[in-house]
Amino acid sequence: MADVDEDLLTTLIDTLDLERKVALLTGAGFWSTRAEPLIGLRAMVLSDGPSGVRGTSFDERDPSLSLPSSSALGATWDPAAARRYGLALGAEARRKGADVLLGPTVNLHRSPYGGRHFEALSEDPLLTGELAAAYVAGVQAHGVAATPKHYVGNDAETERFTVDNRIGDRALHEVYLAAFEPAVVRAGAWLVMSAYNAVNGPTMSENPLLAEPLTGEWGFDGVVVSDWGAVRTTEPSARAEQHLVMPGPAGVWGAALVDAVRDGRVDGSVVDDKVRRLLRLAARVGALDPAGRPAGCGAPGGPPGAPGATAAPDAGPGTPDPAAARELAAAGTVLLRNTGELPWSPGGPASVAVLGHNAVLARTQGGGSATVRPAGVVTPLDGLRDALGADRVTHRLGARVAEGVQPFAPGTMTNPVTGGPGLRAVFRDAGGAALRAEDRTGASLIWMGAEIPDGTDHLEISLRWAAPAGTHRIGAAAVGRIILDADGRRVLDADGVLTGDHGPGAAIFEAPSVSAEVGTDGPVDLVLRFRPSGFEAGLPLAALVVGEEIVVADPAAEIAAAAALAAGSEAAVVVVGTSDRIESEGFDRGTLALPGHQDALVRAVAAANPRTVVVVNAGAPVLLPWRDEVAAVLVGWFGGERFGEALADVLLGVREPGGRLPTTWPSTGTERSVLPVTPADGALHYTEGIHVGHRNWLRHGETPAYPFGHGLGYTGWRLDGARLAADGAIEVALTNTGDRPGRQVVQAYLSRPDSAVERPVRWLAGWAVVDAGPGPATARIRLAPGALRHRDGDRWVTEPGAFTLDVGFSVTDLRARLRVPA
């Protein structure tokens, strides 16, 4: 590779004995690789990803930018937005000292039942691939490595460590691998993460797909890092193109791999190649300094000519982009329906009832490893109060969404020791002696490994909670024993126990709640003692949420009260959505319906006020059975830390809801086109083959609630005609028929009814994002390089003859037709 001095790497590799080489191939800890001072190699820090840079801890005192989740980015359809997203994360990684960002997630929205879809971009391989490539280029422009993951087939979470996804050869190449190819080949990602699951037999950390196409046909010269804990064997994984085992320091390579090389069971050149890749990565991110002088590679912006290392004119390396979270959230917001209600006239309605649990407990990011701790979050209620004035905005819960104990809001806690905001956490030994104390501002607390002092027996959390007068259920979500005193009185002594089958991480992200009823007539002093169950087994992990469990005693009365508030207001905004028990990592969804009584809430509010706007706060499709009864529906996804501001911008028309659906939204969730995600006997068969997502809906002739590519924006558009330009681009004449500037995403779909091979009914071949004022505009669409090809055995083939190209505003809203090649 031109960007790295390969001869230097050879010299450095020759300096190391086998033990030292092998030692480098397993992490030093949870989030870092090993240093090797002998060759000037420092440890490299890896961080999740993909919508923020968490760094090495979950500590709110080291906050992270929280961007809208990936499905919102997918909805922008805009490679320029994806590059900006990547640039913002690259700068953030630099600021937080991370060398490697564990993202983007390049798996597909194969089925809306997949629980982790908020982390992925789209159901379409081309849309996913183009956005992922732009994201990678943005991150790497800062000299930070991006890591497309999880290669490949991690499209659902059920039995995720073991499921064998049976995927036909054409689907594998034309759909699932195709989604990865642009990020790897064109953007030149410096790492790829192998997935937990198996594909067609072997688990992905030892699967032949790592060699072909990844390191072979695609020429990937970077590092394949395992998903955390995914490498389970020594020899098969070492012989595969699996290069780095994470996390460390324990692992199945180490001494066992040294022995395997010594005994001739694994070739020494295999180890050398892995070490070379790791050092190449180190050179690229600036972690290799053999001569004690600044490394020649991986400087901010990257060396000239390095893949993905073009200078970033739009954001200098290390420069934060504070507006990114707000603007990207608006750009990804999809207006599904609008009867003329939106945008509100300047100044907005005189009074607005903002209803729903997610209006105040907004989901601004997905759960699981994607979680970061932002410095603050603007909820929809905050955003609307700021924009309209608090006196014009009222709120009512309407229906509960989040179940279990939710963290106390930062502004409601006082640290009894400092008198400032927050709480005090003290690590105590078995005799009760304090080993260390921390003053914290957040009530979601996670400590791992060395963050927990040796000898810790339990944690003691103390705070004064500004409780509104009344009865509250106070407690914790945690795995372990919880003892709670309120105003000096013991109110709770209980165990949080995980039931059923759980993977690692469940103690953090799926912890059960224990709580007690506490009556207060004002602020209450709380002291909570917590002994994590994992301590018994020597597991250094303590995770708990301290807070309140919301109870709605009479759901019908709560809905009626919300509807009454709506009736007395000029307009109503109902924020509906999912909770972290529905969309997170490690499990899939059992239903696509909104949880709790939210459908009844929307219907009651819409009946009470014809100016009802519904905002959907979900990372993936949900069912909207009332969609034709409300004035407008916006999908705000998990909108990042400035979700509420972006929402206010969109409602008031300050910004266009610029998004288009990156994934089909079903009507009932029981349609044939909606694929199941539950394996049978350990295997999940991708029987739909190449007909994924909208291709499946077209094949079955089923009508979804909203099709792929749909989104309205705030102006009208006419498509006047399309032609093939001399340079091969599709030139589309449009008119913005409204009286305000707007955005349109002009989409081009290919079809080939008389093909000699099986084809999708039609497939996305290219698109263009057009921003234009009223009047005529032109879109130029370049068809993707591989748009016409199909996979035949181990080669790509393009059928001779003409294909049909339809151009329009969604996969089912097609307005012009051409033949290509002409």
Longest dimension (CA), the chain: 83
Minimum distance, C-beta of residue 371 to ligand BGC, in the bound complex (Å): 10
Query: Whole-angstrom distance between the N-terminal and C-terminal Cα of the chain?
Result: 39
**Binding to ligand BGC, residues 172-211 (CB under 6 A):** none
- Find residue 721's DSSP bridge partners: 733
Minimum distance, C-beta of residue 788 to ligand BGC, in the bound complex (Å): 34
Tokens representing residue 191 in the block: 């790492």
Rounded Cα–Cα distance for residues 117 and 232 (Å):
26
Question: Toward ligand BGC, which CB reaches closer, 138 or 368?
Answer: 368
Question: Which residue from 81, 100, 102, 355 is in contact with ligand BGC, where contact means CB under 6 A?
Answer: 102
State which amino acid sits at residue 714: Y
Q: Which listed residue (3, 5, 78, 227) is catalytic?
A: 227
Q: Which helix (H) or strand (E) holds 285?
A: helix 268-285
CB-hemisphere CA count at 13 Å for 12? 26
State which amino acid sits at residue 409: A
Question: Toward ligand BGC, which CB reaches closer, 371 or 609?
Answer: 371
Rounded Cα–Cα distance for residues 238 and 260 (Å):
10
For 557, other C-beta atoms within 10 Å of its C-beta total 10
Question: Toward ligand BGC, which CB reaches closer, 48 or 206?
Answer: 48
Rounded Cα–Cα distance for residues 89 and 83 (Å):
10
**String of DSSP letters for 364-405:** -S-SGGG----S----HHHHHHHHH-GGGEEEE--S--S-SE
Minimum distance, C-beta of residue 20 to ligand BGC, in the bound complex (Å): 26
Catalytic residue list contains 99: no
- Find residue 778's DSSP bridge partners: 733
Minimum distance, C-beta of residue 406 to ligand BGC, in the bound complex (Å): 23
CB within 8 Å of 79: residues ≥ 6 apart? 130, 131, 133, 134
Minimum distance, C-beta of residue 807 to ligand BGC, in the bound complex (Å): 37
Rounded Cα–Cα distance for residues 227 and 204 (Å):
10
Rounded Cα–Cα distance for residues 62 and 375 (Å):
8
For 299, other C-beta atoms within 10 Å of its C-beta total 15
CB within 8 Å of 498: residues ≥ 6 apart? 479, 506, 507, 510, 511, 512
Question: Toward ligand BGC, which CB reaches closer, 247 or 596?
Answer: 247
> How far, in Å, are 183, 302, 694, 709 from residue 147 at the CA level?
9, 17, 27, 27
Rounded Cα–Cα distance for residues 50 and 37 (Å):
31
**Binding to ligand BGC, residues 312-331 (CB under 6 A):** none
Question: Toward ligand BGC, which CB reaches closer, 149 or 274?
Answer: 149
Length of the chain: 822
Minimum distance, C-beta of residue 104 to ligand BGC, in the bound complex (Å): 11
Closest CA to 278 of 501, 36, 478: 36
Question: Toward ligand BGC, which CB reaches closer, 102 or 661?
Answer: 102
Q: Would you give the distance in Å from CA 706 to the centre of its chain?
A: 22
Rounded Cα–Cα distance for residues 798 and 489 (Å):
76
Question: Toward ligand BGC, which CB reaches closer, 124 or 227?
Answer: 227
Question: Toward ligand BGC, which CB reaches closer, 278 or 630?
Answer: 278
For the chain, the C-alpha Rg in angstroms (whole number) is 27
Minimum distance, C-beta of residue 227 to ligand BGC, in the bound complex (Å): 5
Give yes or no for a cis peptide into 300 (omega within 30° of 0).
Answer: no
Helix (H, G, I), strand (E, B) or coil at 93: helix
Minimum distance, C-beta of residue 77 to ligand BGC, in the bound complex (Å): 24
Minimum distance, C-beta of residue 445 to ligand BGC, in the bound complex (Å): 18
Minimum distance, C-beta of residue 53 to ligand BGC, in the bound complex (Å): 12
Contact flag: residue 584 with ligand BGC (CB under 6 A): no
Question: Toward ligand BGC, which CB reaches closer, 453 or 503?
Answer: 503
# residues contacting ligand BGC (CB under 6 A)? 7
CB within 8 Å of 725: residues ≥ 6 apart? 731, 780
Closest CA to 807 of 791, 820, 792: 820
Q: CA torsion angle for 354, 360, 361, 363 (degrees, to 10)?
A: 60
Contact flag: residue 5 with ligand BGC (CB under 6 A): no
Tokens representing residue 333 in the block: 């917001």
CB-based contact 602:576 (threshold 8 Å): yes
**Binding to ligand BGC, residues 226-245 (CB under 6 A):** 227-228
- Strands 393-396, 717-724: pairing is unpaired
Question: Toward ligand BGC, which CB reaches closer, 100 or 605?
Answer: 100
**Binding to ligand BGC, residues 8-67 (CB under 6 A):** 48-49
Minimum distance, C-beta of residue 102 to ligand BGC, in the bound complex (Å): 4
Rounded Cα–Cα distance for residues 739 and 466 (Å):
49
Question: Toward ligand BGC, which CB reaches closer, 160 or 762?
Answer: 160
Q: Closest-CB residue for ligand BGC?
A: 369
Minimum distance, C-beta of residue 369 to ligand BGC, in the bound complex (Å): 3
CB-based contact 272:11 (threshold 8 Å): no
State which amino acid sits at residue 515: S
Contact letters for ligand BGC, residues 351-370 (x by CB under 6 A): ------------------x-
Contact flag: residue 149 with ligand BGC (CB under 6 A): yes
Minimum distance, C-beta of residue 89 to ligand BGC, in the bound complex (Å): 14
CB-based contact 275:283 (threshold 8 Å): no
Question: Toward ligand BGC, which CB reaches closer, 69 or 369?
Answer: 369
CB-based contact 224:239 (threshold 8 Å): no
Buried b (16+ CB within 10 A) or exposed e, 463-472: bbbebeeeeb
Question: Toward ligand BGC, which CB reaches closer, 26 or 612?
Answer: 26
CB within 8 Å of 290: residues ≥ 6 apart? 8, 12, 39, 40
List residues with catalytic annotation.
227
Binding positions for ligand BGC, rule: CB under 6 A = 48-49, 102, 149, 227-228, 369
